Amino acid sequence: MINAQKNFALSIEGLTVSFDGFKAVNDLSLYVEEQEIRVIIGPNGAGKTTVLDLICGKTRATSGSIKFKGHELTRMKEAHIVQQGVGRKFQNPSIYEDLTVFENLEISYPKGRSVFGSLLFRRDDVVKDKIQEVSDVIFLGDMLDSPADLLSHGQKQWLEIGMLLIQDPELLMLDEPVAGMSVAERKQTAELLNRITEDRSVLVVEHDMQFVEDIAHRVTVMHQGKVLSEGSMEHVKADEKVIEVYLGH
């Protein structure tokens, strides 16, 4: 076990989830290092999103283990997993359209998360400064007061990334962050991700190969719930099995 000696942020071992006998994820093992950007690619139905669901607790594992900084996540409550430092962005931009950009970010600010804590929560300068800081990073610094439903699709994606950033997670999981974005927006997003990942690990599910090449440190190719290949982008691109099931199309 060479792996055990290294300092992994996230280690997944023998993870299996079965939906009525269909194994969406089948005996999967995956290790993400600290400050690594790992991208998961693979054909539709390979189980990529399910892996993210399993980590954040949206889906419960049938067997196997997910350890984050030494804590077992498979039986933890969703809110507790978030408090451990795991942030998750959904595939479609999940933002609160009836609230303003400021209020969207404020809800993700990691204070006042209990019922009475939120009743007594005060919007002080520390909160305002932090929200301003994050909104500048996600290119929305001058749109804090606009209702979120007026944002463009790309801006909504950035807003949700910002909502994760403000939580300052140690593991950031992004499900297709550039889907539906224009070329210019993709470039901006790649820059954004490279900037914000300096002090955290990132797990990205993505289809856009150009984008993957721009950001990935290492790539994991999944197929039918299993790891097909793993390594640098050059390595997996040259892998015959990968070409056959995914890239060759």
Write out the residues near other proteins by the rule CB under 8 A. Answer: 56, 58, 77-79, 82-83, 87-88, 90, 94-99, 103-104, 106-108, 110, 112-115, 118-121, 123, 160, 163, 167
CB of 155 to other proteins, least distance (A): 16
89, 174 Cβ separation under 8 angstroms: yes
Q: Provide the residue type at 16 as one letter.
A: T
CB of 234 to other proteins, least distance (A): 34
Q: Which is nearer to other proteins, 48 or 89 (CB)?
A: 89
Tokens of 158: 């950035």
Q: Which is nearer to other proteins, 72 or 78 (CB)?
A: 78
Q: Which is nearer to other proteins, 67 or 113 (CB)?
A: 113
CB of 101 to other proteins, least distance (A): 13
- Minimal CA–CA distance to 236: which of 39, 31, 16? 39
- DSSP code string of 38-68: EEEE-STTSSHHHHHHHHHTSS--SEEEEEE
Q: CA-to-CA distance for 4 and 35, rounded, in angstroms?
A: 17
CB of 54 to other proteins, least distance (A): 13
Q: Which is nearer to other proteins, 140 or 173 (CB)?
A: 173
CB of 32 to other proteins, least distance (A): 19
Q: Which is nearer to other proteins, 81 or 212 (CB)?
A: 81
- Minimal CA–CA distance to 89: which of 173, 183, 12? 173
Q: Which is nearer to other proteins, 97 or 133 (CB)?
A: 97
CB of 156 to other proteins, least distance (A): 12
Q: CA-to-CA distance for 25 and 15, rounded, in angstroms?
A: 7
Question: What is each CA distance from 43 to 47, 134, 214, in whole angstroms?
Answer: 9, 34, 20
83, 167 Cβ separation under 8 angstroms: no
